[in-house]
């Protein structure tokens, strides 16, 4: 066998897929559709008495939460005062967060990873949502607030944290992540009530400060563990949802995927390509005959195969950015989540090996349906470093996009251009040669190595 024939067995293209690919193929895989599905199939029965048939499922829950929120006050945390009935006791806290953000007109309210970043890690704030929840815990136990400037600037968020903590105390949810919360709270509450009978106010304040010093970090760890546990439950829900959508659309999904793959792979002399997917789906298996040209494939953040043995191999997370690896919040990063997925589960595959084509052979990296958002930036930085993007004159970056019904064609195109330039500018900042970094996009354009293609 000659050397040239052997080279034909290797991929010369890397195709990177994002959620836009699944959407274009007919899969309802966006977060809003998922959220509607969960509310409809998991929680709707809770609204039977207040259901408004003139509103959609999200609007019904939005109105319900807003009514509860408006009626709720700090006094609900004190004593044994209860609202008329438990506020959806078993509802996942992240779904409550989405609804709260919707009520407050956040355009990204259903973006799971954006909300993780906002509620778990705030680069511009000293305190996180976990701190605010701890403040609510101490308010409940001692009828006193911790002086958090962040809370004072965000009264609605403070009130929302009271509602979450009230829920936990009221519903007594059975959860391993909350066992310590309930046991510590019970012990502290009994001590605090006993001491309140024998100490005057000034001494109680000193005791309160002692409790904060002893228990603050412990409760913060509990709250972060709780939010993480809730995220894991959400991931199970999402895995089940995507699988149901894929099964419902199997024939149409596979056919549309084949067409898109053919379009993206045809303009390189070699037809061999690898797929690096940020989705949990594997449409190359939803096609009756093998996908011609596909050499290797890999799902970066897991796939749906965990359902076969009751596991969850789908993950959400945020870019590690400046998050301290020693912090409690670090476990929410994609770096940690993927490491955990690969190291502690059965999520392994021969396809994982050498998913990137050889730097000596690769001719193009192609993108379709990926937002190029900050949460995945570290993956692209590694990829561009690996292929020496600036100096590899035979390597092209090709970004594909499609227009969709109801979208403004010019706006869609402009959004794609902005996302591409933002990614390249951010990567350029990491280059040792700062002049190369500043003119990276210009350099790629002038050497014919950067394209935006509508398909």
- Of residues 94, 96, 48, 92, the one with CA closest to residue 68: 96
- How many Å apart are CA 75 and CA 390, to the nearest integer? 61
Question: Strand, helix or coil at 254?
Answer: helix
The total number of structural domains in the chain stands at: 2
DSSP 433: S
- Check: CB of residue 34 under 8 Å from CB of residue 266: no
Same structural domain for residues 39 and 22? no
Residue 317, in any domain of the structure: no
Residue 341 lies in a domain: no
In a domain, 425, yes or no: yes
Residue 385 located in a structural domain: yes
Q: Which of 91, 81, 103, 100 has the alpha carbon at shortest distance from 46?
A: 91
3-state secondary structure of 408: coil
One domain for residues 21 and 132: no
**Same structural domain for residues 127 and 205?**
yes
pLDDT of 349 reads 53
Q: What is the pLDDT of residues 253-270, one digit of tens each?
A: 888 988 898 888 876 555
Distance CA 220, CA 55 (A): 38
Domain membership of residue 438 (yes or no) is yes
Decide if 326 is inside a domain: no
| Pair 52, 198 in one domain | yes
- As averages over each run of 10 residues, the pLDDT of the chain (455 residues) reads 52 94 93 95 84 92 88 69 56 93 93 92 77 89 74 78 86 77 87 72 76 90 94 95 84 86 74 90 78 87 84 89 86 91 68 79 95 89 95 95 88 95 93 88 95 93
Say if 340 falls within a structural domain.
no
Cα distance between residue 137 and residue 147, in whole Å: 13
Domain range for residue 264? Answer: 3-27+250-303+347-454
pTM (2 d.p.): 0.88
Q: What phi and psi values does residue 178 have, to the nearest 5 degrees?
A: -110, -5
Assigned domain for 101 exists = yes
Q: Are residues 174 and 283 in the same domain?
A: no
Task: Please give the pLDDT value at position 2.
Answer: 41
Last residue of a domain, one of 193, 215, 240: 240
- 67-113 pLDDT per residue, tens: 888 888 777 676 554 555 555 657 899 999 999 999 999 999 999 99
Both 17 and 89 in one domain: the answer is no
């Amino acid at each position: 066998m000659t050397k040239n024939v052997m080279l034909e067995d290797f991929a010369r293209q890397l195709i990177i897929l994002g959620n836009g690919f699944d959407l274009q193929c007919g899969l309802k895989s966006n977060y809003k559709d998922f959220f509607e599905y969960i509310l409809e199939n998991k929680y709707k029965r809770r609204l039977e008495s207040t259901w408004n048939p003139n509103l959609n499922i999200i609007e019904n829950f939005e109105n319900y939460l807003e009514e509860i929120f408006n009626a709720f006050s700090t006094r609900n945390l004190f004593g044994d005062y209860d609202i008329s009935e438990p506020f959806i006791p078993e509802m996942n806290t992240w779904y409550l967060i989405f609804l709260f953000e919707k009520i407050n007109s956040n355009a990204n309210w259903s973006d799971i990873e954006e909300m993780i970043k906002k509620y778990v890690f705030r680069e511009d704030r000293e305190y996180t949502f976990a701190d605010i929840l701890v403040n609510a815990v101490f308010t409940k136990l001692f009828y006193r607030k911790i002086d958090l400037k962040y809370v004072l600037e965000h009264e609605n968020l403070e009130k929302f944290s009271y509602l979450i903590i009230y829920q936990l105390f009221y519903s007594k949810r059975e959860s391993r992540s909350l066992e310590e919360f309930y046991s510590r709270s019970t012990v502290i509450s009994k001590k605090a009530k006993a001491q309140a009978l024998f100490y005057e106010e000034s001494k109680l304040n000193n005791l309160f400060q002692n409790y904060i010093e002893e228990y603050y970090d412990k409760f913060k760890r509990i709250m972060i563990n709780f939010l993480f546990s809730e995220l894991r439950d959400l991931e199970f829900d999402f895995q089940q949802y995507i699988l149901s959508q894929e099964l419902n659309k199997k024939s149409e999904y596979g056919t549309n995927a084949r067409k898109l793959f053919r379009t993206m792979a045809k303009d390189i002399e070699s037809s061999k390509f690898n797929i690096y997917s940020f989705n949990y789906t594997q449409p190359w298996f939803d096609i009756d005959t093998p996908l011609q040209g596909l050499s290797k494939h890999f799902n970066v953040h897991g796939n749906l195969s965990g359902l076969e043995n009751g596991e969850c191999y789908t993950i959400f997370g945020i870019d590690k950015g400046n998050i301290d690896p020693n912090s409690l919040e670090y476990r929410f990063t994609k770096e940690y989540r993927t490491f955990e997925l690969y190291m502690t589960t059965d999520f392994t595959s021969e396809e994982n090996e050498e998913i990137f084509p050889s730097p000596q052979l690769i001719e193009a990296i192609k993108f379709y349906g990926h937002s190029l958002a900050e949460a995945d930036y570290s993956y692209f930085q590694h990829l561009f470093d690996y292929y020496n993007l600036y100096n590899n004159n035979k390597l092209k970056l090709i970004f594909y996009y499609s227009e969709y019904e109801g979208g403004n064609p010019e706006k869609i195109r402009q959004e794609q251009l902005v996302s591409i330039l933002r990614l390249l500018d951010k990567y350029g900042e990491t280059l040792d040669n700062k002049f190369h970094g500043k003119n990276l996009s210009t350099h790629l354009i002038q050497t014919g190595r950067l394209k935006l293609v509508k398909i």
